[in-house]
Structure 1
């Protein structure tokens, strides 16, 4: 815990130094307006270049480090979530009703890192984004997937609370119909932010600048390290939904700890199955507490930075740099949880090893069987006669008679 606190303080200090050393020149990062003359008509065209903005724009030498971090994040996400999905689908004791949210959360996290990290690596290598079409697709997904992840995790918390508080009624409460309704509710809530964008301008857009006259639709990310996100009402609705989800998770966490605490005070009176259930309750409360703490630590900096940026407390150029750093921190919430879940890695890798070994043995048996059958049939299929049965003596006797 001490090492974690020291690391957080060091990281915050590093971000502060970067922010203090950043130039306040408004021309470094912003819009460029050009007048295009066609005949007698003069049209003003506003363009935006994200390359000189943000962490990479102010510190180009950090490109290799940033690419390395993104590659490690992608590999860790795919490996950790892949191990989790493998365990859920292969171990019978993992196939309980609430784990449907765990599987959906793993898939959402994998999709989120794949939508963010590889395109960002491309942006850093080439100094430009993939294109306007991809930017709009990414804008939609990066509004949808984070909110979906938050509410899937909130649903998982509620399932765990029911399991800890009402263990005997868990199966009757968590029916397939209720699980389907909860999953559909998570999807609909996640679609609210894109729908707000559609209702406001009639098309899915990447992000808008409300300060610019007419709230021009700019199909560019704010910086090469950020995804194509949304401004204005879209980001307001997104942050509001995330805040509500975190609040529900916090309340549920408090209820889980209360149930575990009440059970712990009476542990001397518990015997048999009730005593075993208490151990599971305390372990579950500890695990969920770690998960919520990590989620809170990784999401709060980005949320606070967005609020300070929109209220004008932080200058735009500094806000972009902080957004670059804290957005990466936000994406690491799942990876930090998996870092403490060594049991998941061990169980998944052990199971994979034995299953692969069985497959190899099975394939080897398939290849050996034809050879064994061939050896068994060889004497019967041999066309040459047996040496004992060769009619050599009769031929000799015939020749002697002649």
Structure 2
């Protein structure tokens, strides 16, 4: 008898098969139309000309309207079925799909019967037929199908009786790149290709040639790309505040970044562990510095190592901006000594330090260190909350239950 977890997989494959025709006839053309609109929109430069800004906004509105049916008629029914069958546990990045299928597969390997082998291969053909015939993630199901492909390959490989290469359709091509920023550029050139991007772990960039390698799928980058596009859109609104000094400008830009991360959903960018590093935070600051009347330069090296950013207008008015992670074991010594070294190297007495945290323990640790160093409450020390947020609806529910 087929175990419950494996039967749930078969039931889901049957569900996909039952919807295949309508997905092909109705929603693949919609995805193609949306992709054409996205390409047209990305060719525009809304920050440089009002006509392009107007056309950009028109295209964005059209994209949002046309995107809605993909959510209500594709994403929600398919993820709903996964949850109903116990394949998906409801997590945001869908890692539970791979974990749950892998657990069911491992157990099944130890208790299958000969009669089960034909059934597994029947469902393998049915799933592969769905993936090959649709050849789409429907712009909303990248995480879902990435997890399914990865996990089902393990199941189907175990019961494979032939030497054919049909399961290669479920494999990801791996491309090496130097950073997640490079991976995003490559992804946006061909967002439909099934690729894994490999890049060195930020923490190990300068350690050794045998450094740890992070891998991220095109599905991860798809959502990340959409989140960054949303981030850019928020930053395309002109900043009306006039800043009189480099310190004011640095603080204003940093606090704008803090506002968008904490209150406008940009914290979701850090749902990926690969992004929980100083380099990615600096990448976001590079976006937020656009359109500034001040010179905001990155990785400035004046002899004592590169400072993250300097904000200046000439040599007379300059502020150093440094980004730190609360989880860094050297946070205290960095706050105590490093920023002062950078200030002296850059001939300035002004600095803004940004500390990003992801857990309750990290914020407690940071506040304790600031207290010990006499820096608590200082205007030039900015803490940014990168923790996952509870939705407003859940907050209301929890408030009612309290």
TM range (shorter): under 0.3
Of structures 1 and 2, the one scoring higher in RCO (CA 8 A, sep 6+) is 1
Counting helix residues as a fraction of each chain, which structure ranks higher? 1
Q: Highest CA radius of gyration, 1 or 2? A: 1
TM-score normalized by the length of structure 2:
0.23
Counting strand residues as a fraction of each chain, which structure ranks higher? 2
TM-score normalized by the length of structure 1:
0.23
